Each structure stands twice: as C-alpha cells, then as structure tokens.
Chains A and B, each alone.
Chain A
C-alpha cells in the first residue's frame, strides 16, 4: 500500500474501467420490446386488430419473417397465431387475429400475452397485452386454440441489455447505483482490516516497544489514518448510493422515500458510520481516539452486513430487488451482457474511491507530521510561545 500510493498505474486502470463502463453502459441498447399495444379488451369469436408501437425494434428488417401469437399467461398455452401482419415502419406494426369462439377456461376474463418473433429483433413477450372477455357470442369464426409448443423462436444477434417494464432504460443504473454499494462494502472492509491492524499493535505499544516507522509515522498511526480515510471514501459512496437510490425510486416505485425496509436499514447503517467521524473529532488525545475509533469501526462493519444484506431479506416484504428471499443477481436481473459491464464497474468505482482515500490519507499524514514536529519543538523549547511557531 505504501509503495502503491505513489504509483499511477492502478489509477489509470480505475479511470479506464470507468470510461469503459460509461461508454458501454450508455451505448448498448435495450432489447427490442413492445411497450405500447393499443387494444385493451377483446371478445371471443371476433376479429381483433392490434397496433403495436415498439421500442428499439426494427420491424422493416424482418418484414417477411415476423410472427406473432396471443397466448394464455404462464405456460403460453393455448395460443393463437396472427393471421395477418402489416409492417408500417420500424416501430409500428399492425396485427390481425381471428379469435376462437370458445374459451378453454371458466375464468371470466384472461389477460393474454403477446409474443412477437423475428429474425432480426429476436423474440419478445409483452404480458397483459389484451384482456379477453369470456362471453360466448354467435360467430362464424372457425379458428381454434392451438395447444402445440411454439417452436423456432429467434434470439437477437445484437448486443442488448434486458428490457423490463417500469425499469426500462434505468436498468443502466446497475452500473452507477448498485456498483457503488458494492464498492462501498469493499472500502469499509478494507477500513476494518486497518482497524484490526491498529488494535493488534496495541500491546506492543503499551510495552513501550519501538514500532516500525515510515515517513515519520509509526505503523499504528498510519493504520489509524488509513482506516479513517477508507471509511470516509466509503461513506461518500454510501451517501451517493442512497441519493441516487432516491431518484431511481421516484421513477420506479413512485416516490423518493417509500419507507421500504432496505431504505431504512441502509439509512441506519450510514448513520452509524457518520457517528464514527463525530467520535473521532470528540477525542483530542490521539491514543484514545485511535483505540476507540478502531473498535467502533469494527463494530460498525459488523452491524453493516446484517443491516444491508440480511435484515431486508428476512423481512419478506420489500420493493428493492434482491430482498424478500430472492437473490439480487439472478439470471433474470443480470444477464451475460450486463455482467460484462457490471463487474468492471464495481472494480472501477472501488479503485476511484481508493484513489480518493489515498489523497485523504496523504493529507492527514502531513497534518499529523506537522503536529508532531510542532510538539517536538515545544518539548525542546518550552519557553517559546505558541503563536510564534505557527507564524
């Protein structure tokens, strides 16, 4: 660490990783999908015309081989294929379905899912596209429900991020919000390592042994400063994570603060860490300050893990993904393309935060040194008044 602090290569790596994250994270498009279907409810035995408005779709690229089905939810069976597909432009298409005259279930209505498949855009599914009322009517329709399996579906060859309703483009916040939290945990963990290091030299310091020194500060003083600097950078990431979370929550959950368990526990964890800095300024004696703040840092980290990872999962009721029993990074939430950006994002933010922490460390190091020199001067010339040394 002491040699690395003056080296530049890891700072370059951090910045390059983040540049990659910003470019790839913003430029890779969302998977083509159909957010808007103009029709809401349909009746049995009728001909149904749907107008689709696609997002990132290129219908004209697959004008000849577009296929579409209306399916029952969950098992996608039974289903009925579109009888006619008219491509207007890249984003707009018109579909015609001849609905069967009878309903295979007793339910009063069924929300049918729409599947659109093509060689260029791949397959996409829009749940709750059409509400089909179960009202038997006289009709000449001879169409029947198909109980077979839909085969030959395409996968888009383009690099895309998953398209989710409500989340939409904000899935990119994974690299700017989620990655910040992981980087924060890494920094807090490093701070704990230094806090333990401080306490491990406790006994030797009490016995009056000479501790190894670098640049005029002994190993305990340095561990204390590292612990503080890493915690400060970690807290900055945490606060940024919370604030960005507010904004993201506003446009996905509906309000900045929903009183969600995850929001409360992370807020508590950050308040516990803020108290660390209040603790530090309230002790003027360095030995006492170092010992108590090292112990408090370990205590805060031990609380952090249950607060942000375990309690929200136990609660069984949270808006935040990755809670209430489901893993945060299931294959549904983070696909292969996202992983290629997400892991570099975590590493990039961690390195950037370490850079900031190292600057903070160097400043505190100089402050402590100046203070020490001043005290030594005081010991040598006790008669000299304080103000003259400062000026």
Chain B
C-alpha cells in the first residue's frame, strides 16, 4: 500500500517536472554539445582496448625472447 502510494507520488512529481518543459536541455558534461563526449568516450575505450592487446603481444614476445636465449 505504502509502496503504491509512494510510486503514485513519484509519478505525479515526474508529471509536474515534465510540465515545466525543456526536458531535453543538456544538463551534464557528457550530455553537452549534443552528447559528443559519448563518442569521444567510445573512441577512448577502443583505443584502450587496442593498447591492451598490444601489451599482451608484448608480454608474449618477451617470453619468447627469454626462451630463445
């Protein structure tokens, strides 16, 4: 019962907030300038992934060199 009441209250608040409008105005850094920083973040993640792979190849080559000597 209390849960339902709480949910209803929340819904009502959300409705009020919508009535104030401009709900799609960017609020934080990641959402500024048309969310361009999400794209930057994605590119950064891919870069880190490639570096991780490079690092693993490096370890493997080191081991190979040690074996060969």
Interface residues of A (CB under 8 A from B): 22, 26, 30, 35-36, 38, 40, 55, 165-170, 172-173, 176-177, 180, 233, 236, 239-240, 243-244, 247-248, 250-251, 356, 359-360, 363, 366-367, 370, 390
Contact = CB atoms under 8 A, between A and B. Distances in A.
B22 A173 contact: no
Contacts of B53: 233, 236, 356
Contact of A240 (B33, B46, B57): B46
B34 A168 contact: yes
Contact of B24 (A35, A177, A236, A243): A35
Given A26-B39, A40-B19, 13 more contacts: A233-B53, A240-B45, A243-B45, A243-B49, A247-B41, A247-B42, A251-B31, A251-B35, A251-B38, A363-B57, A370-B64, A370-B67, A390-B67
A36 B55 CA distance: 46
Interface of B: 19, 21-22, 24-25, 30-31, 33-36, 38-39, 41-43, 45-46, 49-50, 53, 57, 60-61, 64, 67-68
Nearest to B69: A391
A35 B60 CA distance: 51
Given A36-B25, A251-B31, A356-B53, A169 B39 contact: yes
B63 to A, nearest CB: 8
Contacts of B31: 251
A248 B33 CA distance: 15
A167 B57 CA distance: 36
Contacts of B68: 370
Contact of B64 (A166, A176, A247, A367): A367
Given A172-B39, A363-B60, A244 B46 contact: yes
Q: Identify whether the interface residues of A are mostly helix, strand, loop, or mixed.
A: helix
A251 B30 contact: yes
Contacts of A233: 53
A336 B59 CA distance: 44
A358 to B, nearest CB: 11
Contact of A236 (B35, B41, B49): B49
Given A40-B19, A169-B35, A363 B30 contact: no
A176 B43 contact: yes
A3 to B, nearest CB: 22
Nearest to A172: B39
A360 B59 CA distance: 12
A231 to B, nearest CB: 13
A281 to B, nearest CB: 14
A173 B42 contact: yes
Given A35-B24, A169-B33, A247 B38 contact: yes
- Top 7 A-B residue pairs of the complex, sorted by shortest distance between their CB atoms: A169-B34, A168-B34, A169-B36, A240-B49, A244-B42, A40-B21, A170-B38
A359 B61 CA distance: 10
A321 B39 CA distance: 18
Contacts of A363: 57, 60-61, 64
28 contacts: A22-B43, A30-B34, A36-B25, A40-B19, A55-B34, A166-B24, A168-B35, A169-B34, A169-B36, A170-B36, A170-B38, A170-B39, A172-B39, A233-B53, A243-B45, A243-B49, A247-B41, A247-B42, A250-B38, A251-B30, A356-B53, A359-B57, A360-B57, A363-B57, A363-B64, A370-B64, A370-B67, A390-B67
B35 A170 contact: yes
Contacts of A40: 19, 21
